[in-house]
Every structure is written in C-alpha cells, then in structure tokens.
Chains A and B, each alone.
Chain A
Amino acid sequence: MGFMENAWLVPLIPAVSFVLILLFGKRMPKQGSELGILAVGSSFVLSVGAAIGWINRVNDAESAEGEHALGMVFRAMGRSVGRFSQEEGHAVLPVEPITRSITWLQSGGIKLSAGIQIDGLAVMMMFVVTLISLLVHIYSTEYMRGDRRYTHFFATLSLFTASMLLLVVSDNTLQLLVGWELVGLCSFILIGHWWEDKPNSDAAVKAFLTTRTGDIGLLCGVIMTFFVVQAGTGEGSFNIVALNDSAANAGELGVSHTLLLWTAVGLLAGIIGKSGQFPLHTWLPDAMAGPTPVSALIHAATMVVAGVYLGARVFPVFYEGFSIADGGVNPMALVGGITVIIGALLAFVQDDIKKVLAYSTVSQLGYMVLALGVGAWVAAIFHLFTHAFFKANLFLGAGSVSHSGSHHSFDMKKDMGGLRKYMPQTFWTFMIGTAALAGIPPLAGFWSKDEILVNAGENDFQVFLIVGMVGALLTAAYMTRCIYYTFFGEYRGGDHAHADGAGDELVEHHLAEVQDEHAHAPVAVATHDAHDDHAHAGPHESNWLITGPLWVLSAFSLGIGLLNAPGIEKFTEWFEPRFAFPDLPHAEFSVAWASAAVVTGLIGIGLSYAYYWRGLGPQRLSERNSLARAGKTFLVNKYYLDYLYENVIVAFIKGPLANAAYWFNQHVIDNVLNYTGRGAMTAGHVVYDYIDQKGVDGVVNGIGISTDEAGSAVREIQTGRLQFYAFMLVLALGVFALALWIAA
C-alpha cells in the first residue's frame, strides 16, 4: 500500500536526476547516463510496486463484502458515484482512487492543489512510461555513444520522464497542464538535439508551435473544468475526481450540457495537437528529425499518447459533452476515424523508415481517439498499452538498422534491403513488432485492435467499424512494404557502391545523408566514424545494449495482449475506473469479427507480398496512369496540409491580410488624416496669425525669459557634488519634520 501513497516519488526521482546530471553529469565516468538509468530504474521499481498495490486493492474489493464496500462509499460521498452495474451476474464494486494532495497556492478563496491520484489508469501509465524509458535509456548508451551532447541528452531524457510521470499521476487538470507543457518542452529540446542543422531546428519549432496551437483549446478547456466542478459541487476546483463526478452525474447535479460540450471541444483541441490527430498531425513525422531513441520514447510510446491519456482521464466530460452514449457521429470519433485513414495512406509513399513508423503512429493514435469517441474506454487504453510496446520496438529496431546496417541513414530504398541476413536479431524483433501492429493473433495488437472494432460495432458506430477495418488492411500492407524494403531483396547500402567504384557520387551521397538524416554535429560525425571503423566491413548486428531492449519489447509485444483476452480480461478488471465514471457497455469478444479483422490484415499482407515480392499487380502504375500519378503526388505532398498551413494560412496573414490592412491604412485612414490635416492647417493659419503670434507668444516669451533667469540663478546650486544634494535632502526632510511637529 505504501507504494501508492508515496507515488509522488516516482516523478520526483527523475526530476532530481535531471538536476544532478546537469550539474555533475560531465564528470561522471559514464557521463551521466548511469544516473539517468539508476533514477528511471528506481521509478520503475516503485511503479511496479504501485501497480501491484492497486491490483491487490481491486482484488480486495472484489472479495470483500459487497454491501459493506457500497455503504462506505455512500457514506463518504453522500450519493452514488461509482458503477454498480450488474454484469455477468456480479456487481462491479467501486474502487476509490488513492489521492494525496497539498495546497499549491491559495488566492481569493480559491485553493489550487498539487497532488497525486493513483488508480488503474495511473499505475498502468506509470508502468509503461518507466519501463519504456528505462529500455530507451539503456539503448541510448550505445546509440548515442560519442555524441557531443551526450550528457545533455540524458539530462533531458530524465526531465522528460519526470514530466510525463507528473502528468500521469496528477490529481487535477491544472497540474496535468503543467506536465503537458513540460513534456512538450522536452520534445522540442530533443527533436532539435542536433540543432546545428536547420531542418532539425525547424522541425523542433514546428512541433512546438503546432502542438501549441492545440494547447490554446486545451487551456480554455482546463479553465472550463473549474466551472464544471463549480456547477456540480458548488465549489470550483480543478480536481479530476470532482470533475469526473460532476460530468458523470451532470443530469442530477444540474451541470449545463453546453458547458460540458465546450469543455470537451477545448480539451479535444489539445488532444488533436498533442496526439497528432488530423488536422494537426503534420508535426509528428517531422519530429523524426530527433534521435531515434527519442522517437521511440516520446513520439511513439509516451508523449504523443498524453492526449489519449487526457481523453481517458476526464472521459466523463467527453462522454456527456459529446453524448457518446447516443451513437451516431461525434467530433472525437470523427477526428480519430479520419486520422486512422489519412495516416495509414501517407505511410505508403514514405522512403524513410522512421516516417513510415511515424505515420503509422499517427494512424494508431487515431484508433485510440476513435475508440474513446465510440465509448470504448478500455479498448482505447488497452490499445495505448499494447501500442506503446510494439511501436517502441519498431522504432528502436529502425534505429538499430540505421546504427549498424545502413550508415546512419533511414532511407529504405537507397541504403537498406537484404538486412535480414546481416541483422537476424533486429530482423526478428522487427517482425514481431510488425505482426503485432498488423494484428496477427495472438500478438498484442490483435487483441486491442479487435476490441476497438467490436466495441465500435456494438455501440452503434458502424461507420467507424468500417473505417477501422480499412485502417487494419492498410496497416498490414504498409508494414509489409516497409519490411520488404528494409530486410529483403539485395543490400543497397553504401559499401556496395564503394566496391563498384562509383566514388564521387557516393561520397557526396554519403555526406548528404549524414547531414540530411542523422545530422550529427561535425565533431560527433568524427567520433562516430571513429567508433564505426570496425563496422565499415558492412552491415552487422548491433550489440546487446541495443538488441536487449528490442527483445524485452518483443516479449511484451508477443504476450501482453493476452491480458485482456476473452476469459482472462484482467486489464478491464484492474484498470477500468470504477469511481465517478459512466457505466459503459463492454462488447463480448466475437469470433466472427476477430476472424474478419485477421482476414483483412492477411489480405493487406498478401496484397503487399504479391506486389513487392512477386511483382504482381500494376507495377509502376503512377508512372503510366495520370490519375494514379495525381493520387501519389497528393500523398507525397501530405495532402498539401503543410502547404496549406505555411503557404496559405501563414501567407494569407503575411500577404493579403497584411496587404489589406496596409491598403486600409493607406487609403482610408490616411485620407481621413489628410483631410483632417488640411482643415486643421487652415484653422491653424488663422489661429497662428491672430492668437498665437500676438496673444500667446507674448505670454510664452514672458514665461520663458523668467524661467531662463530663474534657471540661471538656481543653476548655481547644481554643483554636481552628490553630498551637497544629500545635504539638501536631509535639510528638506528636517524642515518637513519641523513643520509636522509644529502642526501637531
């Protein structure tokens, strides 16, 4: 139990480690990485402790006397707040979250608190964040070896881990917002880790500003949560339990639906920005400019799911605000559904393996938001859980390929191919991750994706069921394409061309690739090349610091899905909130839908296999058919969204809007001013001749002359000697004191 009450330590330890690495990291034998690993390792142990504590708490509640537990809750809250539905013959008992908080600041009767709220969702996220962060730390000691900002990299990783954990354990929306902005900051720093190259710092700025766009909505939403609680309980606060309670019982408590709707819209804007949802997803692929471990940790497994986490954390707000229970189309499901499809389609035209995975992440995040939007809370969070493992696995696999197989390039078409023979461990772990992502049973992704689909169907969201199916087909197909380019066929890397003697072109190409893809600082390149000398014989397997984390993640990708397999369903039991939460239906596992999903996935794989391995189907269609070419151009240009943002919206503000303002300024305001001016001039002449020259000037000149003479007299006092001034000051003070004394 102690682990849960003291869970505030979990974010605190990496925060301390951040400071220590900054202060002492460079002098440590391993340049600070050992501090980071130690801190995150401790947090991981504490998180596991908290998770076990929570599971015991749930189990205790299950086995305890039902009525006793119910009575306690009723007495505590004065009314029913938990879920007491009859499911499969037994009551789902409420399990209260464990909360502890301190007053952060108090002003004008409003108390803002800082605290922790430990429940199923929090312990699950703590486990995922600390575990993946730990693996990424270990991986980075090898991947980032010799980097010029190695120590800073680990310091920022620590800060990121601390911020993410702060966000996760937060018991109020304001503190959550603080963590949210901190992870955004860390993302910015880490994307721009190799900032010497313009594209990298551009990507960092883009990521920061794009998510900030969504954060405007989030800020409004967070402020509105205060008023939701005020409407529900009479006293405003940012407390999440109170918020969920107010939202879940909106009808009884008289919380206005309009207020909930706008709160939900505001928060959804934040989710769209942070979790890379359409139309603000464009920053996520660019964020791949950062080091690969960062992509795995921040832009696949943890930070980008902060949006989904927020959606799950205050789910009752969305549930009531968007009337999810009624079925049909709501903004949340719509955004998720669009994102699933557009993300998956974009993954087909990428040559950069990390960008394929980035668009895949966009698409999978779309699944999660879609699941929340159709009221499948457990499915969304379960997918978040499984996705974190297999996508981190895939990203770290891609990093391993570039580190040891393709000379720090991520270009699948130019520098990879045939790596299956050279890097068997990376290949197999990557295959496991791919199979999990494509939804092959019994791997992790199959269970979670299937749960989303079947719940969408069950809750009357048939449209999104179809969207999800199409998404599954596309996912399987683009991952097969990615595998083909990376691991099969002939090796197309630099060393072959060396042997061919195509020297000049190749050196250029290699340089460009270093700048373009990895963008090391020149010093870092030198050190990297130095340590890579042994590798120039050709592509080879990475060492255990890289393959170790890959295998751990693969093991999770393989088995973790069984946690919520039919008949086990521990994930639902342990992690679904049972307090201040709407009573959600749970769709039964359906063999028919599961088989349909698997068959869809297999068709995707089969189509890709036929196209790439066997050369069947319309090869090079886009070179012959103008329609297909147009489609491909459309995709390659990312739906022209970046064009829209940069050249239309920004240019509109810079161009026409500014021009219009200028025109208005020149023609309207200036004319008004001109005519006013001319009128004033005429009037001025009259005034000048008669009043000014004759009347005023006399007075002014008189004042001027007397001032001048007085000034000359007083000037003598301005000796420039400070102590004389001070003396005058004291003298004046004395006179004042004397006057006061006499007056009294």
Chain B
Amino acid sequence: MLLNQFLILSAVLFGCGIYGVLTRKHTVLVLMSVELMLAAVNINLVAFGAYNGNVAGQVFALFVLTIAAAEVGVGLAIVLLIYRNLRSADLDDVDVMKG
C-alpha cells in the first residue's frame, strides 16, 4: 500500500493552498485556495481510510465535500457583500479590523 505518496501529494496541495491564502489579493482566489486545502484533507482521509481498511475515511471525505459546498456558498455570499459595500474584492481594502 502506497501511503507516503498520497501524504506527500496532500502536503504539497495543502502548502499550495496556504500559499494562495496568504499571498493572493483577490477574495475569490483566496476562497479557491481554501478549497485546495480542503481537497488536501480529503486526500488524507481517503488515503488513511484505505490504508486502515476502514470505510469511515471515505464517509468523512463525503462529509467534507458536502460541508465545503455549503462553505463556498456562504463564502461567496460574504464576498458579494464585501464587494457591494467596498466596491472592491481586494483583501487589502478590507481593513476595518485595524487596531
């Protein structure tokens, strides 16, 4: 059973995701990077599930997919509202939390 390869793939994917979240300025691209991170998690779940011969991993992957879909819905709604209020989807413009 090849486990390491999957974990490496997942780690790389997760790294890409984090990189995207931290560097991209456009809100939608940040959301997409979050999706990438979730996909990495899914790969981990499925890989470990297969490795242990336990179907629960796949079941949870399905849960993650469902919740990710819901999350994107909410996320896009927030992006839309940000755009409406600020006339911009650039994250640097969102600085109401400035201390």
> Residues on A close to B: CB < 8 A?
715, 717-723, 726-727, 730
Q: Is the CB of A721 within 8 A of B92?
A: yes
Question: Which B-chain residue is minimally distant from A720 (CB atoms)?
Answer: B98
Q: Is the CB of B99 within 8 A of A718?
A: yes
Q: Is the CB of A722 within 8 A of B94?
A: yes
Q: Is the CB of B95 within 8 A of A721?
A: yes
Q: Which of B17-25, B45-53, B54-62, B69-77 contacts A (4 or more CB under 8 A)?
A: B17-25
With the chains together, A726 CA to B30 CA distance in Å? 11
Q: Please, which residues of chain A bring their CB within 8 A of the CB of B18?
A: 730
Choice from A719, A720, A730 contacting B22 with Cβ under 8 Å? A730
Q: Please, which residues of chain B bring their CB within 8 A of the CB of A727?
A: 22
Q: Please, which residues of chain B bring their CB within 8 A of the CB of A719?
A: 95, 98-99
Apart from the given pairs A719-B98, A721-B95, A722-B97, 18 other A-B contacts in the complex at a CB distance below 8 Å: A715-B99, A717-B99, A718-B97, A718-B99, A720-B94, A720-B95, A720-B96, A720-B98, A721-B91, A721-B92, A722-B91, A722-B94, A723-B22, A723-B91, A726-B21, A727-B22, A730-B18, A730-B22
Question: Which A-chain residue is minimally distant from B98 (CB atoms)?
Answer: A720
Q: Please, which residues of chain A bring their CB within 8 A of the CB of B96?
A: 720
Question: Which B-chain residue is minimally distant from A716 (CB atoms)?
Answer: B99
Q: Is the CB of A718 within 8 A of B94?
A: no
Most buried by B among A715, A722, A727, A730: A722
Q: Please, which residues of chain A bring their CB within 8 A of the CB of B99?
A: 715, 717-720
With the chains together, A717 CA to B97 CA distance in Å? 11
Question: Which A-chain residue is minimally distant from B94 (CB atoms)?
Answer: A722
Q: Is the CB of A723 within 8 A of B21?
A: yes
With the chains together, A722 CA to B99 CA distance in Å? 12
Question: Which A-chain residue is minimally distant from B23 (CB atoms)?
Answer: A723
With the chains together, A721 CA to B90 CA distance in Å? 11
Chain B interface residue bracket vs A: 10 to 19
List 10 tightest A-B contacts by C-beta distance, closest first: A718-B99, A720-B98, A720-B95, A720-B97, A715-B99, A727-B22, A723-B22, A722-B91, A726-B22, A726-B21
Q: Please, which residues of chain B bring their CB within 8 A of the CB of A722?
A: 91, 94, 97
Question: Which A-chain residue is minimally distant from B25 (CB atoms)?
Answer: A723
With the chains together, A350 CA to B71 CA distance in Å? 62
Q: Please, which residues of chain B bring their CB within 8 A of the CB of A718?
A: 97-99
19 contacts between A and B (CB under 8 A): A715-B99, A718-B97, A719-B95, A720-B95, A720-B96, A720-B99, A721-B91, A722-B91, A722-B94, A722-B97, A723-B21, A723-B22, A723-B23, A723-B30, A723-B91, A726-B21, A726-B22, A727-B22, A730-B18
Q: Please, which residues of chain B bring their CB within 8 A of the CB of A730?
A: 18, 22
> Residues on B close to A: CB < 8 A?
18, 21-23, 30, 91-92, 94-99
Most buried by B among A717, A720, A727, A730: A720
Question: Which A-chain residue is minimally distant from B95 (CB atoms)?
Answer: A720
Question: Which B-chain residue is minimally distant from A718 (CB atoms)?
Answer: B99
Min CB distance B39 to A, Å, is: 18
Q: Please, which residues of chain B bring their CB within 8 A of the CB of A720?
A: 94-99
Q: Please, which residues of chain A bring their CB within 8 A of the CB of B30?
A: 723
Question: Which A-chain residue is minimally distant from B21 (CB atoms)?
Answer: A726
With the chains together, A586 CA to B84 CA distance in Å? 79
Min CB distance A373 to B, Å, is: 55
With the chains together, A723 CA to B20 CA distance in Å? 10
With the chains together, A288 CA to B64 CA distance in Å? 54
Question: Which A-chain residue is minimally distant from B97 (CB atoms)?
Answer: A720
With the chains together, A719 CA to B94 CA distance in Å? 11
Question: Which A-chain residue is minimally distant from B96 (CB atoms)?
Answer: A720
Most buried by B among A717, A721, A727: A721
Min CB distance A553 to B, Å, is: 53
Question: Which A-chain residue is minimally distant from B92 (CB atoms)?
Answer: A721
Min CB distance B11 to A, Å, is: 12
Q: Please, which residues of chain A bring their CB within 8 A of the CB of B91?
A: 721-723
Min CB distance B92 to A, Å, is: 6
With the chains together, A715 CA to B99 CA distance in Å? 6
Min CB distance A426 to B, Å, is: 59
With the chains together, A727 CA to B94 CA distance in Å? 16
Q: Please, which residues of chain B bring their CB within 8 A of the CB of A717?
A: 99
With the chains together, A726 CA to B23 CA distance in Å? 10
With the chains together, A453 CA to B61 CA distance in Å? 69
With the chains together, A730 CA to B19 CA distance in Å? 10
Question: Which A-chain residue is minimally distant from B18 (CB atoms)?
Answer: A730
Min CB distance A714 to B, Å, is: 8
Question: Which B-chain residue is minimally distant from A715 (CB atoms)?
Answer: B99
Question: Which B-chain residue is minimally distant from A725 (CB atoms)?
Answer: B97
With the chains together, A720 CA to B91 CA distance in Å? 10
Q: Please, which residues of chain B bring their CB within 8 A of the CB of A726?
A: 21-22
With the chains together, A572 CA to B23 CA distance in Å? 83
Most buried by A among B96, B98, B99: B99
With the chains together, A720 CA to B95 CA distance in Å? 4
Question: Which A-chain residue is minimally distant from B24 (CB atoms)?
Answer: A723
Min CB distance A173 to B, Å, is: 36
Min CB distance B2 to A, Å, is: 24
Question: Which B-chain residue is minimally distant from A724 (CB atoms)?
Answer: B22
Min CB distance A737 to B, Å, is: 12
Min CB distance A719 to B, Å, is: 6
With the chains together, A723 CA to B95 CA distance in Å? 10
With the chains together, A722 CA to B82 CA distance in Å? 13
Question: Which B-chain residue is minimally distant from A733 (CB atoms)?
Answer: B18
With the chains together, A723 CA to B96 CA distance in Å? 13
Min CB distance A733 to B, Å, is: 9
With the chains together, A84 CA to B65 CA distance in Å? 62
Min CB distance A278 to B, Å, is: 53
